[in-house]
Structures are given as C-alpha cells and as structure tokens.
Structure 1
Amino acid sequence: MPQLTKTAAQMVADARARIEEISTEELIAMASDPEVVIVDIRDIRERQRDGYIPGSVHAPRGMIEFWVDPDSPYHKEVFAQDKRYVFHCASGWRSALTVATLQDMGFVAAHLRDGFKDWKAKDGPITTDD
C-alpha cells in the first residue's frame, strides 16, 4: 500500500486555514440575495436524494475548475458574473478543497463551513425535483 505524505483530513485543514468559511446561519441570511451565487458541488444523486438549496447552481466537483476557467471549452457563464460565490457539499470537506483550488486559480469564493447536512439540521430552505 502506498505511504501517504498527507491525509485527506490534513488537506481539508490546510484548505480551511486559507479560505473564507461561511456559517450556516450566515448563508441562510444571504440565500435570497441576488448578488450571492450558491454552488452545490455534491453528486447529482445526493441532490436528488436529499434535496438542495433553492436557486443553487449545481456544478459537479469533477468539472468545477473547467466550468470556472473562461479559457476552457467547458466554461459556464454563471461563473463569469461579478457576484459573491459560496460553494457547498454535504459536510464541508469537498467544498473546502474546491474553494482552495479555485483560490489558487484566482477565483474568489467562500464555502459553507458545515455543509448541507448542517443547513438541513438548522432548517434552511430545501427544495426537490419531484
């Protein structure tokens, strides 16, 4: 078995030390602001199973760097707006790594520190595709 030089938990901790983290309460208060884009990087099956934040943009983690990069053939215009971006996943680990990577690219964003599970636990609005 290969010997890891850094664990996933260490990578998340390193990312969190250098990115902006938003609390669930803060994001609930910001959710209706038209200048805020909430980006859900969870797998589509997670969104279908657990619901999602109304108005959130779904951007699978595996494509996010390509969707954000204006020079990529996969670029999405939603990421070319002069708005505040807040990324989230289920528990805050994937979104922390994603935002750290995007920060390395020069893209300014924050992430929901405790993820969608906390959003749901604190009665943040949720919708589903019936």
Structure 2
Amino acid sequence: MALTVQDMMEAANAVVDRIDTGTAKKLLGQGGLLLDVRDAVELQQAGRASGAHHIPRGMLEFRADESLQSHDPELRKDRPIVLYCAAGGRAALAGKLLKDMGYQRVYNLGGLPDWVNGGGEVTA
C-alpha cells in the first residue's frame, strides 16, 4: 500500500520530539544548530530566526550526507539540531530524515511563528 502524507507525518511525529522555544534556546546554548528548512522565497518574505542556518528541505539529504562533497559541515551527528519551517510539517519530515541518516539529537520546533511567539527574535 502506498504511503500518504498523513502516514509520513505520523511516522515523523512518532520519532521527532516537538519542543518549545525555551527548550530550543537551551539546546542552542549547548552548541545546538537552529535549522530553517523553508524555501528561500519564504526567508525573503518573512525573515528567519536569529542565528538560524538555512538548508531548504529539498536539499537536506545532500547536505546531511557526510560522504558527499555537498555535505554542510554545520550538520554534525554529535550536535543537537532544532528544525523549523513555516508550520512544523516540513520540520517533522526533515527531522525523521535526519534520524534515518543517523543523526540522534533532532527536534521539531514547529514553525517560525512558534519561535516568535516563544520570544525568539527574527532577522531579515
């Protein structure tokens, strides 16, 4: 049977913990990476969380694979990674992908509004 988006979301939410802004800030203070997986157009329109690193969801596999030349050195398996997107769906799916690739400390913050509503700053 073919998977649906609902199936994929349930699987992602089962393995990627959802956290709030306070917990995210604590992880960032311990050397964690705040990772924005939205598209570039979304960043231009709404800005990004202060200090966030950007890798579009569609490129994550290529940036996360340490064996590829396109690997992003900000992604390290020993580092907590806090993901966010616009509403939390892509962040959950991205988190599951990273876990499937061997990243252990992966968390879903939700969307940029969750960051802002929790007191997080945004830059242009």
> Contact 2:50 / 2:123 at 8 angstroms: preserved in 1?
yes
Can you give the 5+ residue segments of structure 1 that lack an aligned partner in the other structure? none
Partner of 1:86: 82
The structure-2 alpha-carbon separation of the partners of 1:85 and 1:123, relative to structure 1 and needing over 3 Å to count, comes to same
How many angstroms does 1:118 deviate by? 1.9
SS in 1 for 2:114: helix
CA deviation digits over 1:71-90, x for unaligned, max 9?
11211111137321111111
TM-score (norm 1): 0.82
Moved more, 44-53 or 115-124: 115-124
Amino acid at match of 2:14: A
Task: List 4+ stretches of structure 1 deviating above 3 A.
Answer: 28-31
- Once residues 5 and 61 of structure 1 are traced to their aligned partners in structure 2, the CA distance between those partners, rounded to angstroms, is 22
Moved more, 58-67 or 18-27: 18-27
Partner of 1:43: 39
Partner of 1:17: 14
> Contact 2:36 / 2:83 at 8 angstroms: preserved in 1?
yes
Structure with bigger gyration radius: 1
Matched residue count:
124
Amino acid at match of 1:20: D
Identity %: 31
- Once residues 53 and 46 of structure 2 are traced to their aligned partners in structure 1, the CA distance between those partners, rounded to angstroms, is 15
SS in 2 for 1:79: coil
- Higher strand proportion: 2
Can you give the 5+ residue segments of structure 2 that lack an aligned partner in the other structure? none
Alignment RMSD (CA, Å): 2.0
Amino acid at match of 1:17: A
